[in-house]
Amino acid sequence: MERNRIAAQEVQPFEQEHTAKVRELAPECMVLLQNDGTLPLAPGGKLALYGSGARGTIKGGTGSGDVNVRHFVNVEEGLENAGFQITTKAWLDAYDQAVYEAKKAFFAGLRKQADELGVNPVMLSLGKAAPEPEYEFPLDGEGDTAVYVLGRISGEGSDRQPVEGDIKLTKTEVRDILALQERYEKFVLVLNVGGMVDLEPVKGVPAILLAGQLGTPTGDAVADVLTGRAYPSGKLTMTWAPIEDYASTEGFGHPDDTDYKEGIYVGYRYFDTFEKAVTYPFGYGMGYTTFDVQAGTVTVEGGTVSVTASVTNTGGAKGREVVQVYYSAPAGQIDKPRQELAGYKKTAELAPGQSETVSISFPVADMASYDPARGAWVLEPGVYAVRVGNSSQNTCQSGAVLLEEEVLTEKVRNFGGDPGFADLKPEGGAAAEAPAGAIPVDTSAIPCKEAVYSELPEELAGQDPCTWQEVVNGEKTLEDFVAGLTDEQLACLCIGAYKDSGDLLEVIGNASSQVAGAAGETTNWLQETGLPGLVMADGPAGLRLSVQYTVEDGNAKGGTSLSGDMFLVFTPEELAAMAGPQAADQEPGETYYQYCVAIPVGTGIAQSWNDQLAEQCGSLVGREMEQFGIHIWLAPALNIMRSPLCGRDYEYYSEDPLLSGRMAAGITRGVQARPGRATTIKHYACNNQETNRYFSNSNVSERAMREIYLKGFEICVKEAQPYCLMTSYNLVNGEHTCNRKDLMSDVLRDEWGFAGVVMTDWLVTGGMGPRGSKWPCASAAGDVKGGNDLTMPGIPSDKADILAALNDPGHPYALTRAHLQQCAKRVLEMIQKLA
Ligand code: BGC
């Protein structure tokens, strides 16, 4: 592919346009948690600004999801751009110094530990955040308004901790926030966090804005909302409660086995069913105005439930409201949660006094539960109450649907294995109110589907080799091409492009020779056939590439890009040796630039509860993919937020599968509307902790998998057909997901109709974590056998394992050429589609 290389260092028009677009969308992603009228603030004048996120603003988390930008706007800069005079420069300077010392000491400790253990310091410090220090600086900034920005970072490789300085506020933070609230006439707490923080000690603060992490224009967007230039209209996508109260907290982060004993009772499904108090419920968020949501009608026609609601802006400012529809299924043989989200819709902008009638529809079959005993999705008989409102805890019943008999909506094969325990169940189940006038459903309008499972296709008989050009010209078929490949060529197609030797670290997040900083490529070992390669780059908060690179022998070379504060584990000399080409060392014209724009993190996008916004974000990324020659984006990530302790929650969307699936579908539509660009939904599945992530086994019941952990993937596949999917690092019930034929072939392809390529997460077959774990690495041969087409990024032992399995019937994942051909063909079809 002829690349459009940018040799100028100047800001490019696309950067300006995309930054402006993200700034325009960002207020929809912010959730106003409290407001007594303090917000919005009058713009300009003196402002006392405090807190870890004020200058040290976090635009997104660390790890592969960290986008390398030219510059991003911190809150201090954003407020200054908005005309405020910041009166607390001394406080901010003192904080900078204190936090720098704390980080230096923390990372020096990690380095010492790595040296003692003889492990690479990058692996040990991946995703680690230095704990917030305690300090005491005078809170004496001038002005009658103070803003305190609380920041928290987390990332790939480490989980969050249920301690002060992470999930909980430090003593210093609590003390300062409470003091500031007393001292200033107006006080606002802004949360620059990627996930939940326990706000119980400061809940009385009258104005709290969850700004989140919004990418390149974060500070400007925060200033826009604080000053009322824009209004917030986001809603929480996860329940906020004290960490001890989540059903998933006990046992979280065990290095070997995590038991998902709460079953389907994740997030609000748990808190509402078991009547546990929360700090802020799922779906909650205020605006600068108030809304009245009146339930309208509930009707059922041809197996579809339709609900209307009328929304009126009853306050004095503009705003948008999110109407949410929940249903309560009757508890019969199968226990049911108190309620589940069935649909949602965001209104257009409403002026004071203006109304909109919103209509939300969903199939009756969507209310089915999974019964593992019968291997079927079942609608049990009884009353299905339908509620409408603007958070999971602020709804009113608007109608009910009556099923007079049981309906099986789909019959499938059992899968997944035994987690070794019975799931949590509420006593007595959820009691749905049975109102008069429940609408009977014509059950004949709900067909029962029966899944059909495919067999391995026959081996294609050997043929003379042909070239890729002959396939492109239509002189040969793809089957001819596959049939002409040697075993070794087939094996190469089933793994990413690899170097025969080298440091494994070189291939983490930087394994492409075509685009510097891209995470991987399809094989470069079939060049004699003229086969092009596909380039893959990370996300989900934008496109992750090296910011500058040179081209040597046709290969792009960028520097190692570390994420977060990880550079502090290295000495200045080590850093200099690792650095990529510096513009100053090069002849003019030899250095090229790839400054991408960071979009809001996944959680931020989902907090908009606006599928179109997700699509617009996808479209921005798709345009940058075109600009830099990326075919496959390694995003979106839609693992369920099982616990706020998961270090990568900020990349994910929600504790609810419907919202997660619809956001991923929106992003996918945005990217894939551009010909030749693909998304990769990840990490399939039950990748809900980072601790010992290559060897962590999630024990989960089949019901919880189907209703919660796989559901979002199913929705996205059926709605948007993402071209690629990435399996996860973790095992499920004792086997690596990428080796599980049931997950990839039976469920993903045969039941849902996924038609694309499945790839592994990076280096799952050559585990990078501490050895001596209970569980082994995944097998590359197992990938091929299970239908995981590509083992990424591809290391020599993967090829060896596949070839060994082909010739050895005693191999635990013994292969035939037909297995290899099946995966290779799917990779080639993708190349045909995208290259
Ligand atoms: C992450 C993936 C990412 C891949 C490639 C892995 O460490 O888990 O999300 O796409 O690296 O960089």
pLDDT at residue 587 in the model = 60
**CB neighbourhood size of 503 (10 A):** 9
- Ligand 1 touching residue 64 (CB < 6 A): yes
DSSP string, 230-286: S------SS-B--GGGSTTSTTTT-SSEEE-TTTT--THHHHHHTT---SB-TT--B
pLDDT at residue 508 in the model = 54
Residue 361's nearest CA partner among 331, 395, 405, 327 is 327
Crossing angle of helices 13-25 and 218-226, in 10° steps, is: 40
Residues carrying an active site annotation: 761
- Ligand 1 touching residue 761 (CB < 6 A): yes
**CB neighbourhood size of 765 (10 A):** 26
Residue 230's nearest CA partner among 354, 78, 54 is 78
Distance from the alpha carbon of residue 574 to the mean position of ligand 1, in angstroms: 24
- Ligand 1: residue of 691, 762, 768 to mutate (most ligand atoms within 8 A of CB) is 762
Q: Which protein residue has the closest C-alpha to ligand 1 atom 6?
A: 762
- Ligand 1 touching residue 521 (CB < 6 A): no
- Ligand 1: residue of 67, 535, 538 to mutate (most ligand atoms within 8 A of CB) is 538
Query: What is the distance, to the nearest Å, from the Cα of residue 88 to the centroid of all Cα atoms in its chain?
Result: 36
Distance from the alpha carbon of residue 467 to the mean position of ligand 1, in angstroms: 32
Contacts 24+ apart (CB under 8 A), 806-809: 806/487, 806/491, 806/781
pLDDT at residue 560 in the model = 67
Mapped onto helix, strand or coil, the DSSP state of residue 361 is: strand
Distance from the alpha carbon of residue 634 to the mean position of ligand 1, in angstroms: 8
- Ligand 1 touching residue 538 (CB < 6 A): yes
CA 518 – CA 340 distance, rounded (Å): 39
CA 756 – CA 759 distance, rounded (Å): 10
Q: What is the mean pLDDT of each run of 10 residues along the chain (835 residues)?
A: 80 97 98 98 97 97 92 98 98 96 91 87 84 95 98 94 97 98 98 97 96 98 98 98 97 95 98 97 98 96 96 98 97 96 98 98 98 97 96 94 96 95 84 72 93 97 96 97 98 90 54 88 94 97 94 83 81 76 59 96 98 98 97 98 98 98 98 98 97 95 98 98 98 98 97 98 80 88 98 94 95 97 98 97
CB 236, CB 653: distance < 8 Å: no
Mapped onto helix, strand or coil, the DSSP state of residue 162 is: coil
Which pair of tokens denotes residue 52?
Answer: 């870890």
Distance from the alpha carbon of residue 454 to the mean position of ligand 1, in angstroms: 30
DSSP designation for 686: T
Distance from the alpha carbon of residue 814 to the mean position of ligand 1, in angstroms: 28
Buried b (16+ CB within 10 A) or exposed e, 426-464: beebbebeeeeebbebebeebeeeeeeeeeeeeebeeee
Distance from the alpha carbon of residue 505 to the mean position of ligand 1, in angstroms: 13
Ligand 1 nearest atom to the CA of residue 536, by list position: 5
- Ligand 1: residue of 158, 634, 638 to mutate (most ligand atoms within 8 A of CB) is 634
pLDDT at residue 150 in the model = 98
- Ligand 1 touching residue 727 (CB < 6 A): no
- Ligand 1 touching residue 441 (CB < 6 A): no
Residue 360's nearest CA partner among 341, 379, 376 is 341
CA 460 – CA 821 distance, rounded (Å): 8
pLDDT at residue 131 in the model = 86
pLDDT at residue 521 in the model = 96
Backbone angles phi, psi at 679, to 5 degrees: -105, 165
